[in-house]
Each structure stands twice: as structure tokens, then as C-alpha cells.
Chain A
Amino acid sequence: MSTDENKDKLIMEHFNQLQSVFSDLRLDKNGKGKFIVAGNLSFTCSHDGKTIKDDYDIEMLIPDDYPQRPPTVKETASRIPRDKDNHVYPSDGTLCLGAPLAAKRTFAQERNLLWFAREQVVRFLFSHSYKREYGIMPFGKLTHGPEGIMEYYKELFSVQDDWHVLGLLKILADDNYRGHTLCPCDSGQKLRYCHGDLLREIKEYQKPTDFLTEHLSIFKFLDGKNNAPDNVGEYIPQKVLKYKKNRKRKPILKRRKSGK
């Protein structure tokens, strides 16, 4: 059996499992020949003693490398406004199910459609319904943009200092894990006895370049504030330094304006 056939079979299996719970969904292919799961997703969920019964029309696009990456989801009946306040990417209308790593990490627990639909999509839609009904997000939310990603990482790493996030992300961005070095969270412990396990877990979910992008966006965000440490250069990934050295074209980061 070819890998394509195996992949199709896996998607069908996962879809049947999904449909046994959410029966109004169907598996189809879109105009570009990609698998989609479309239809109506209905649910009854309770939180804090309050029950919500609701349904949404959705379309999930299954990526070519499924189940490595989770599907992306759109709400198709325009019930959720396409804006950041409602956690929808305005450009393509896909739902933002969490910080990028968070969505991948949750998906990676089971890597199937039923899990994804229940834990990530229904959870998101339920939050939306709940917010409309009761005015608050039941599971909280992150700030927009880089700041929100930083908030996510601070919580994930259990660190207080913004720059510690960058120190840890730098290791992932450079794909340069060394267990015997000191942990960048200033605990005084070796990495392998501190944040090591967590770093090694999450580096499986996305590529070093993804971590680099996140690192740089947070760096840019923090750079404008005043709490920068003196040794700020040490937080810049090797990749960026090498890039600057090798190519004298446009640098990725603008030079710091400190001291002026």
C-alpha cells in the first residue's frame, strides 16, 4: 500500500471515530484536493455550574502532514466576527485556538480528529458561546500579538521574568540544547535538572525556525521597554548573529538605540 493510501485510510479511520460522536460532520475534499471535515458541530458543555447547548457550522482543513500538525478550523456561518477580539485571524478567518505552541502541544497528546474537535474546537466554540452569554471567557485569554505569546511561555515555563522566556526560547531557536549548561531561568541549576525536560518535549512540536520567529517577535516587543538587562546581547539567537555576520544586507533586528 502506498503512503498516500495509508494516509487516506488513517484520515478515514479518524473521521469515523469523530463522526461517532459528532454525527453532522462529513469528510470531503475541497477544490484543491485537500481533505476537509465540514458540517455542523453541536455540543452540550458545562462550566462553573452553567450549561451551554449550541452548534456551529465549521470547516476543518486537514494539512498534508496530518497527523504531524493539527487541522485548521473556520466557522462558516459568520456567527463569530472575524477579528482579533474574537480570536479569529482576520486574514483567512481561521480560529485561533491558543498560542501556536499551545495548540500543537494539546493536539500532540492524542493526534486524532475526535480529540482535536472536542478538546480544541468545541472548547473554543464553547468559550465563545459562554462569553456571549455570561460576559467572561471561561478559561481566560491571552493578550494579542507577541505579548500574548510571552504570557503563554511565562505560564508554561513558570517564570516571572520576561527575559527568562527569551533565554529559554533562544535554546530552541538555535536548536542547541546542552544539558550541562546553566538554565537560563537563573535557578543556578544545570539545564537538565531544571527546564531541560520541558524544552526537550516542546522542541518536538514545532521547528526551530518557528521558535526563532516567536523569539524575535517577543524580543522586538521587549526591546521597546526599559527592563532590558545589561547583557541583552546574550539573548540574541546565534542564528541571527551568524546571519548578520555572513550577510551584510538587511539585518533581522534593528540596532538597539540604547545610550542615545
Chain B
Amino acid sequence: MYTSEQKQQFSQILENISESLDIPESKYKEAISRYEAIGKWLDANDSKLHVYKPTIYAQGSFRLGTMVKPVNDSDEYDIDLVCHLEIDKDNITQAELKEMVGSRLKKNETYKKMLEEGRRCWTLDYANEFHMDILPAIPDYEKLNDCILITDKKLRLWQKSNPKGYARWFVERMQAVFEKRKTALAESMRANVEDVPDWKVRTPLQRSVQLLKRHRDVHFNNKDHKPISIIITTLAAHAYQNEADLFDALFSIINGMTNLENIKDQYGRYYIPNPTNPDENFADKWNEDENLPKAFLSWLGKLKADLDAAIKQKDLSGINESLAPILGIGVVGTAIAKLEPLRAKSKAYPEVTFSSKPNKPWAC
């Protein structure tokens, strides 16, 4: 067992870890200015796209506030974007839409060099910074409410999606805590609540998703059957009960996610619907390959055991030793070092005696 101080300290460490997993504020702002520039280029007066009122907006973890730093520091942050054009699906094919966005991007000498085509999107590779995945999309007039249709090279039919709707649902799942945290943050910044941007607020749900994803990234590094982020995010948001404490939130989320019976439909098939579109099953692949749900469960079990072991540690170095291998030495070390100044410590000047023959300093 552990004491309430231990728990409080552990929550703080988890908070610090997820803080260092966040995309740094400077990079966040830079990413926005980069994609706004892309938007301007697509919508310029001489652009063929101009008449279709192109807009660019973020989707996925960048929008949700659940980004995690890549495990390998040399890897770039992935930023998922939607490039939305006002075109009726009857007036354009998937291939035409993809091509239209691609050829406009290629007209820009800078983008041309960075551009790669993917199955669904165009990727701009900002070396050492970001990968920007630009997903061409048109409105789904049958559904409205921000529903979009997207292209997929391998599939004949338009694919449906709703990133804005999903983000609204995700925020709803943590609404109560979100408002509280935002007010608290405004107070600490001595600002009005309206002036605090949403992206500065992080709830235990967002933090938990970051920690889950990070543990997954380390656990499945170079291994198969890695669970996809959207499944983790969706199940975590379902399981979250607006706990105010990160440790409580994380444990109840892990427990909630572990029961896979909850996510089977009447035929016993895995069914994790997109909350904004019941036709989209995020767990489609799980029904084709039983190794996927198996790997998911065994990963969650490992995560739970890892956290159980870590919280029982008596001191910070024990916590450091148990968390570093599962979440990354750098982020854990930094998170624990941040706690140190809080603890008043008299500076020690250890007695040092040398046992080797001294080397004479030199200079080239």
C-alpha cells in the first residue's frame, strides 16, 4: 500500500512527465503559423482552389491536446490537418480532389521539395520539426454538422469522417474538470477566463491519454500490433469520470479500458464506434486479427503492473528507476528533477579524495 503523500507526489510526477511529453509551446505556435501559411497559399487569389473556399484546420491529437513527444528525439511531431474545400461530391472524384490539392501545393517551390503523397493525405516534411499530414476533404452534405468526406487511394467509396465533431465529443467528456482547470489557470495567470486559450488547459483525461500513448510507444517500439491512438483516446474518454486527480483518473481509465466485453456488439464482434458516426468502427481490424485485441490487453496489463510497482517505491530514485524504462529516461528524469527544488535541501559538498594518478590539463 501507499500513503496519501506518496499518491500526491506520484500524481505530481505523472503531471510533470506528461508536461514534458507535450509539444512545447513555441513548437505549437510555430505549427499553427506554418499551417496557416499553407492555408493562405491554397486560398490565394491566383489559386485554382480559391473558388472552393479552402480552409485548413487541425485534427487528431494536435486538436485534442493529446500529442506526445516522439520516443526517438530525432523523429518529428506528426500534425494532422484537414484541407476542406466547398465542393459537392457529385461534382468531383476522390482522385481529382487529391490531385487538385497536390498540384496547388506543388506550385510552391518550398512545398514542392517537402511534399510526399500518402494513401489518404499529402505530407509536408518540415525537416527536424514536423510532418504535416494534409487530408483533402469535402463536406458531407447528407450529414452536415462538420461531417466530411475524405479520399483513400485504396478504397472506391468516399470515406466519412468528422474530426471537429469528435473533438467536441472529447471535450464534453471532460467538460466539468476542464472549466475548473481553466478558471484555476486564469487565476494563476491573473487573467480573465475568456482570455485563457483552451490549448493551455490540460485535464487529467488529456494527461492520461498522453501517458497511455507514451507507454504504448515505448512498449511497442519496433513491435507489431501497436494499438492505434484513436482507440486509446476513445476508450479513455469513455472511461473517464471527471476525476480531478491524475493518478485517480489514470487508474480508473485503465480499469475501465480493460473490460473488452463492454466493447462487443450483439454478434460478439469488437465495436468501438466513432462517437459522431456509428457507421465507423475504430476496431474494424480487431475483428480480422485476434492478435490486436490480445496485444492491447497484455499491454494494458503491463502498464498497470508497471504503475503499481512504481507507486510503491519508497523514494524518488526508486520511482525514477521504475518509470524511466517504461516512459523514457529523459522525460522521467526531468519530471523528477522538477520536484527536487520543492524539497528544501541543504547543499552538500561531498568530501572527495582522488585515487588515480592526476592528469595534467592540456589544451590543443
Closest B residue by C-beta to A100 = B362
Q: Is A103 an interface residue (CB 8 A)?
A: yes
- Stretch of B105-113, B299-307, B346-354 that contacts chain A: B346-354
Distance A138 CA – B348 CA, assembled complex (angstroms): 24
Tell me which residues across on chain A come within 8 A of B362, comparing CB atoms. 87, 96, 98-99, 102, 141-142, 144, 148-149, 152
0 or 1 for each of A134-148: is its CB under 8 Å from B? (1 = yes): 000111111011001
Distance A103 CA – B364 CA, assembled complex (angstroms): 14
Beyond A43-B349, A44-B352, A152-B360, 15 additional contacts (C-beta under 8 Å) are: A24-B347, A44-B350, A45-B352, A89-B364, A99-B359, A99-B360, A99-B362, A102-B359, A102-B360, A119-B356, A122-B354, A140-B360, A142-B361, A144-B362, A145-B364
Q: Are A118 and B354 in contact (CB under 8 A)?
A: yes
Closest B residue by C-beta to A19 = B317
- Stretch of B9-17, B148-156, B176-184, B324-332 that contacts chain A: B324-332
Q: Is A228 an interface residue (CB 8 A)?
A: no
Tell me which residues across on chain A come within 8 A of B360, comparing CB atoms. 98-99, 102, 137, 139-142, 152
Distance A9 CA – B358 CA, assembled complex (angstroms): 30
Tell me which residues across on chain A come within 8 A of B26, comparing CB atoms. none
Chain B residues numbered 54-85 whose CB sits less than 8 Å from any CB in chain A: 72-74
Q: How many A-B residue pairs have CB under 8 A?
A: 129
Tell me which residues across on chain B come within 8 A of A28, comparing CB atoms. 329-330, 333-334, 337
Q: Are A32 and B74 in contact (CB under 8 A)?
A: yes
Q: Are A32 and B361 in contact (CB under 8 A)?
A: no
- Beyond A33-B73, A44-B350, is A12–B361 a contact (Cβ under 8 Å)? no
Which bracket fits the contact residues of A?
A: 35 or more
Q: Are B347 and A124 in contact (CB under 8 A)?
A: no
- Beyond A87-B361, A139-B360, is A55–B347 a contact (Cβ under 8 Å)? yes
Tell me which residues across on chain A come within 8 A of B347, comparing CB atoms. 24, 42, 55
Shortest Cβ distance from B43 into chain A, in angstroms? 35
Q: Are A21 and B350 in contact (CB under 8 A)?
A: yes
Give the contacting residue for B358; candidates A30, A54, A139; CB below 8 A. Answer: A139
Q: Are A96 and B364 in contact (CB under 8 A)?
A: yes
Question: From DSSP, what is the main secondary structure of chain A's interface residues?
Answer: mixed
Distance A88 CA – B362 CA, assembled complex (angstroms): 9
Tell me which residues across on chain A come within 8 A of B325, comparing CB atoms. 5, 8-9, 12
Tell me which residues across on chain A come within 8 A of B363, comparing CB atoms. 84-85, 87-89, 96, 144-145, 148
Q: Are B355 and A119 in contact (CB under 8 A)?
A: yes
Shortest Cβ distance from B283 into chain A, in angstroms? 30
Shortest Cβ distance from A93 into chain B, in angstroms? 12
Most chain B C-beta atoms within 10 Å of own C-beta, residue among A26, A42, A97, A140 = A26
Shortest Cβ distance from B338 into chain A, in angstroms? 10
The 9 closest A-B pairs by CB, nearest first: A98-B359, A33-B73, A29-B330, A139-B358, A84-B363, A87-B361, A142-B362, A102-B359, A26-B337
Closest B residue by C-beta to A29 = B330
Q: Are A127 and B361 in contact (CB under 8 A)?
A: yes
Closest A residue by C-beta to B338 = A26
- Beyond A26-B334, A88-B363, is A55–B354 a contact (Cβ under 8 Å)? no
